[in-house]
C-alpha cells in the first residue's frame, strides 16, 4: 500500500548535507590484535594465526632465498623502530605518492598495564618486500597473513583517511510522510 501511494507522489530532496571527517589508522599489530584481525578478516583461529606467524618469523622461501619476513610475533608493543617508519615512508611515497605519507612518523603508545615493550610491534622485516613478491613461494595462508601485516604496518604511517559523508532527506506525500 505504501509503495502504491508513493508511486503516485512527487519526491523532493528537502535536505542535502555534506560533511567530511578524518579517520586515523589503527596501530600496528601486537599479538592480540593480530589474532583478532586474522580471525575477522581471514577466519583464522588464534592458534592457527600464531602457527602461521611463527613460520613467517622463522623463515619462508622468497625470491631472495629463505628468510624471516616478520618480526617477533609475541609482543604487546605498538612501537615501530625509526628504521621501520623510514622504510614505510619510502614505500608509501613510491607506491601511493607523497600526499599519502607523513612529515613525521606516527607514534602509538601501548595502554596495556605492565606492557612488555622489549620487542617492536609485529611488522614485516623488510617493508619493500611486497606481498605480491612472495605469493608464488609461500602457502596461501602465509601469503594472506603476511599481506594483512604488511598493509596494517603501512597504514599506520599513512595520512589520515578523508571520509565524505552525505546525508539526504527526501520527502514525499501530501503530509511529507
72 flagged as catalytic = yes
Q: Are 2 and 173 in contact (CB under 8 A)?
A: no
Selected catalytic residue, list 72, 96, 100, 108: 72
| Chain centroid to CA 130 | 15
Burial 117-144 (b: 16+ CB within 10 A, else e): eebbbbbbebbebbbeebeeebeebbbb
Catalytic residue set = 72
Amino acid at each position: 500500500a505504501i509503495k502504491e501511494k508513493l508511486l503516485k507522489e512527487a519526491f523532493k530532496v528537502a535536505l542535502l548535507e555534506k560533511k567530511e571527517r578524518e579517520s586515523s589508522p589503527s596501530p600496528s599489530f601486537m599479538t592480540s590484535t593480530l589474532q583478532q584481525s586474522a580471525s575477522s578478516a581471514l577466519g583464522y583461529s588464534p592458534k592457527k594465526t600464531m602457527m602461521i606467524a611463527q613460520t613467517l618469523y622463522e623463515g619462508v622461501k622468497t625470491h631472495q632465498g629463505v628468510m624471516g619476513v616478520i618480526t617477533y610475533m609475541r609482543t604487546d608493543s605498538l612501537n615501530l623502530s625509526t628504521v621501520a617508519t623510514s622504510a614505510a615512508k619510502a614505500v608509501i611515497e613510491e607506491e601511493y605518492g607523497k600526499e599519502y605519507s607523513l612529515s613525521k612518523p606516527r607514534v602509538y603508545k601501548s595502554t596495556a598495564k605492565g606492557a612488555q615493550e622489549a620487542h617492536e610491534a609485529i611488522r614485516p622485516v623488510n617493508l619493500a618486500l611486497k606481498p605480491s613478491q612472495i605469493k608464488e613461494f609461500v602457502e596461501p595462508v602465509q601469503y594472506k597473513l603476511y599481506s594483512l601485516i604488511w598493509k596494517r604496518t603501512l597504514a599506520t604511517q599513512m595520512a589520515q583517511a578523508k571520509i565524505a559523508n552525505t546525508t539526504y532527506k527526501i520527502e514525499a506525500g501530501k503530509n511529507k510522510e
